[in-house]
A = this chain, B = another copy of it.
Amino acid sequence: MSPNANHNGSAHHDHGKCVADALAAAREICDQRGERFTELRGRVLELVWESHRPIGAYAVLERLKADGRSAAPPTVYRALDFLMEVGLVHRIESLNAYIGCAHPGAAHASQFLICKDCGTAEELESPAVDAALAAAAGDHGFKIAGRVVELSGTCKNCSGS
């Protein structure tokens, strides 16, 4: 077990690097888009990335307070709203929770596989799913603006062993 594996769910990758990469990418994306990647926003993104499990806004809030920082609900909701607009974070509607985007930087429609056992959420970008949704909507004269696709069930790790 790697030194960084003890604080995340799957424990199958170097999660410290995982988080560091996400933060570096976020900084770059914000620079490119002329958005301010402030210390608060960075810390919130880091907290969201601390596991691959979706995390609730109030859980983020508690961790911010644990930093010794003064924080209230609007503090974290504003940061999360910003991160979502920039495309660095997704909201999981069925959990009222938030998770770091696995492929930030480009607009994309994603799907989530949420394991009921270990709580992880994997982000997919399946063109086939996207096409099927577009076709089904088109058949009904519906113009898609936003997609929520969240599958709950059992992940590979949890069903295997």
Contact = CB atoms under 8 A, between A and B. Distances in A.
B148 A153 contact: no
Contacts of A113: 137, 140, 142
Copies of this chain, complex-wide, total 2
B156 A152 contact: no
A150 B93 contact: yes
Interface residue range, chain A = 35 or more
A143 B126 contact: no
Contacts of A128: 132, 135-136
Contacts of A160: 141
B141 A159 contact: yes
Contact of A142 (B129, B131, B146, B153): B153
Interface of A: 93-94, 111, 113, 115-116, 122, 124, 126, 128-129, 131-133, 135-137, 140-156, 159-160
